[in-house]
């Protein structure tokens, strides 16, 4: 069997500019050693990353300097030569805080002669830092520098797009969302909150998702004073974990017993687009879990139900059924909610979580055209006539989707505001099934017309 040949992307630059940090960012695993000491021995690292839907092989040239010639440039060149020779793209990194050094300039000269596509990266440019160096970097003759911060995760989504665009025969990179909704969807990472009762395994899940080396950032603008956020990446792009109770707990280790704090959950919900409601599957669905789910519904967030501690569940079939039944009967608005079962402790099944989060995010962002909507609506009215109110039948005229995030519809009609709950539910359930909107809150607003 032949292995499919992946495009090769080589990360090059002098020691300590942040190559390994960038590698870890892109590969999405944080197991590699990152050190402040230049020239610390490290193995040559290769990893595969999916950027805008394309798999690439990344090579980090950091740490190859040891056996090489004596000057810094000589070492850089020796360490990079073989890697650069096979590169489809070279990411040449400079340290925007340190500015352009002679070694950078030398290496750039050499690199220009290698006749490989190069993307110039000005790293450590978090905030406004390194703007000067980024401008100065034009002088290297390697095109427009891309300023970013590997450590803080700034500019990484852009970088992924730039890389994807430069790969050989890159299919047109898809930007933004689907047609018609791109203008609504803010750019930037998907915002995710992991919430649940104490001991559900939120911290363990967080560790599992992030790997051992966690990066805790913040406080940042827009988050409450003592909230924290963490960035991670999947194949689609960046995900920002916001204000997670498990993180608070980690930040204040002395907090021996964390009480379920509804107000903290509300804060986290408001920050998030998608919420992973984590429950301890060995205990089944608790009333507090339902309370949290109602909060998620009320705040209009997309939700994924995570059944954790699946390793410790004896009868998995029965447990899953019992949990689904409880959710379906107690939470009409969460009908069809995506359910993922895993063990945060062993890691088994956790890889299903982020794909489910992405799908939930898509559903939450869904748009239905007015044409489709009203074809369905007429049909729905035919099947069940609108009810009589005070002896007169309500005249429902048409519907339109006002917005997504969550999907929100407006129903126009004479005295539409008097529509009974049961009929509203009928319409909402129909919308959910027909337009495939499982597990997302659906809003239906009524507008009376003359």
Nearest approach in angstroms of CB 96 to ligand GDP is: 8
**Cα–Cα distance measured from residue 73 to residue 51, given in angstroms and rounded to the nearest whole number:** 30
The reply on whether position 248 binds ligand GDP by CB under 6 A is: no
Segment interacting with ligand GDP (CB under 6 A) among 29-37, 181-189, 315-323, 377-385: 29-37
Q: Which of 29, 30, 34, 81 binds ligand GDP (CB under 6 A)?
A: 34
Q: Residue 35: left (phi > 0), alpha (psi -120 to 50), or beta?
A: beta
Which of these, 24, 168, 145, lies nearest to 91 by C-alpha position?
Answer: 145
Nearest approach in angstroms of CB 30 to ligand GDP is: 11
247 among annotated binding-site residues: yes
Site for ligand GDP in 48-77 (CB under 6 A): 62
278 among annotated binding-site residues: no
Which of these, 121, 12, 111, lies nearest to 64 by C-alpha position?
Answer: 12
Cis amide prior to 337 (ω within 30 degrees): no
Structure tokens at 439: 């597990």
Residue with smaller CB distance to ligand GDP, 124 or 415: 124
Nearest approach in angstroms of CB 345 to ligand GDP is: 3
Return the SS3 of 15.
Answer: coil
Sign, CA dihedral 38-44-49-52, equals: positive
Q: Which residues contact 119 (CB under 8 A, 6 or more apart)?
A: 89, 90, 91, 92, 143, 146, 162, 163, 166
Site for ligand GDP in 369-408 (CB under 6 A): none
24 among annotated binding-site residues: no
Name the pairing type of β-strands 54-60 and 8-12: parallel
Nearest approach in angstroms of CB 347 to ligand GDP is: 9
The reply on whether position 155 binds ligand GDP by CB under 6 A is: no
Nearest approach in angstroms of CB 205 to ligand GDP is: 7
**Cα–Cα distance measured from residue 414 to residue 398, given in angstroms and rounded to the nearest whole number:** 11
**Do you know the residue count of the chain?**
450
The reply on whether position 152 binds ligand GDP by CB under 6 A is: yes
374 among annotated binding-site residues: no
Residue with smaller CB distance to ligand GDP, 136 or 311: 311
Return the SS3 of 137.
Answer: helix
Q: Which of 85, 216, 312, 388 binds ligand GDP (CB under 6 A)?
A: 312
The reply on whether position 228 binds ligand GDP by CB under 6 A is: no
Which of these, 238, 298, 306, 256, lies nearest to 278 by C-alpha position?
Answer: 306
The reply on whether position 16 binds ligand GDP by CB under 6 A is: yes
Q: Buried b / exposed e across 313-344, counting CB within 10 Å, b at 16+?
A: beeeeebbeebeeebeeebebbbebbebbbbb
198 among annotated binding-site residues: yes
Nearest approach in angstroms of CB 7 to ligand GDP is: 21
The reply on whether position 246 binds ligand GDP by CB under 6 A is: yes
The reply on whether position 308 binds ligand GDP by CB under 6 A is: yes
Nearest approach in angstroms of CB 195 to ligand GDP is: 9
- The 302-308 sheet, strands edge to edge: 229-233, 238-242, 190-196, 274-280, 302-308, 339-341
Structure tokens at 232: 């991670």
Structure tokens at 273: 């687009």
Half-sphere exposure of 5 (CA within 13 A, CB side): 6
444 among annotated binding-site residues: no
Nearest approach in angstroms of CB 440 to ligand GDP is: 24
403 among annotated binding-site residues: no
Site for ligand GDP in 175-204 (CB under 6 A): 196, 198-204
Q: Which residues are annotated as a binding site for GTP?
A: 13-20, 60-64, 123-126, 196-203, 243-247, 308-311
**Contacts to ligand GDP by CB under 6 A:** 13, 15-21, 34-36, 62, 123-124, 126, 149-152, 196, 198-204, 246, 249, 308-309, 311-312, 343-345
Q: Which residues are annotated as a binding site?
A: 13-20, 60-64, 123-126, 196-203, 243-247, 308-311
């Amino acid at each position: 069997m032949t292995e499919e040949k992946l495009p090769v992307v080589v990360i090059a630059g002098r020691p300590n500019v942040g190559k390994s940090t960038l590698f870890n960012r892109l590969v999405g695993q944080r197991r590699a050693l990152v050190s402040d000491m230049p020239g610390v021995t490290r193995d040559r690292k290769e990893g595969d990353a999916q950027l805008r839907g394309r798999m690439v092989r990344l090579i980090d040239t950091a740490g190859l300097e040891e056996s090489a010639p004596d000057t810094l440039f000589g070492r850089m060149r020796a360490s990079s030569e073989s890697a650069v020779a096979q590169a489809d793209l070279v990411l040449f990194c400079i340290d925007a805080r340190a500015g352009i050094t002679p070694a950078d300039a030398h290496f750039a000269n050499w690199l220009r002669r290698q006749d490989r596509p190069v993307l110039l990266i000005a790293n450590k440019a978090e905030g406004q830092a390194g703007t000067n160096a980024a401008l100065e970097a034009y002088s290297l003759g390697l095109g427009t520098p891309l300023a970013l911060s590997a450590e803080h995760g700034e500019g990484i989504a852009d970088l992924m797009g730039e890389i994807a665009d430069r790969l050989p025969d890159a299919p047109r990179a898809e930007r933004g969302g689907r047609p018609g909704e791109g203008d609504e969807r803010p750019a930037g990472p998907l915002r995710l909150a992991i919430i649940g009762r104490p001991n559900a395994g939120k911290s363990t899940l967080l560790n599992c998702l992030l790997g051992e080396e966690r990066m805790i950032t913040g406080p940042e603008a827009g988050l409450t004073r003592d909230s924290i956020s963490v960035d991670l990446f999947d194949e689609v792009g960046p995900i920002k974990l916001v204000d997670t109770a498990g993180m608070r707990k980690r930040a204040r280790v002395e907090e021996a017993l964390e009480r379920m704090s509804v107000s903290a959950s509300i804060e986290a919900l408001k920050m998030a687009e998608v919420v992973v409601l984590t429950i301890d599957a060995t205990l089944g669905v608790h009333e507090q879990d339902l309370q949290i789910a109602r909060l998620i519904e009320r705040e209009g967030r997309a939700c994924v139900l995570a059944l954790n501690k699946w390793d410790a569940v004896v009868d998995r079939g029965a447990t899953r059924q019992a949990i689904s039944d409880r959710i379906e009967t107690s939470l009409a608005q969460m009908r069809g909610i995506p359910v993922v079962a895993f063990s945060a402790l062993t890691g088994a099944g956790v890889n299903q979580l982020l794909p489910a989060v992405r799908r939930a995010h898509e559903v939450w962002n869904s748009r239905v055209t007015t044409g489709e909507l009203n074809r369905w609506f007429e049909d729905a009215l035919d099947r069940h006539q609108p009810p009589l109110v005070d002896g007169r039948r309500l005249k429902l005229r048409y519907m339109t989707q006002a917005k997504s995030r969550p999907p929100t519809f407006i129903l126009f009609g004479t005295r539409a505001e008097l529509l009974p709950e049961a009929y509203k539910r009928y319409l909402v359930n129909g919308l959910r099934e027909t337009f495939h909107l499982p597990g997302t809150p659906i809003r239906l607003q009524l507008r009376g017309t003359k």
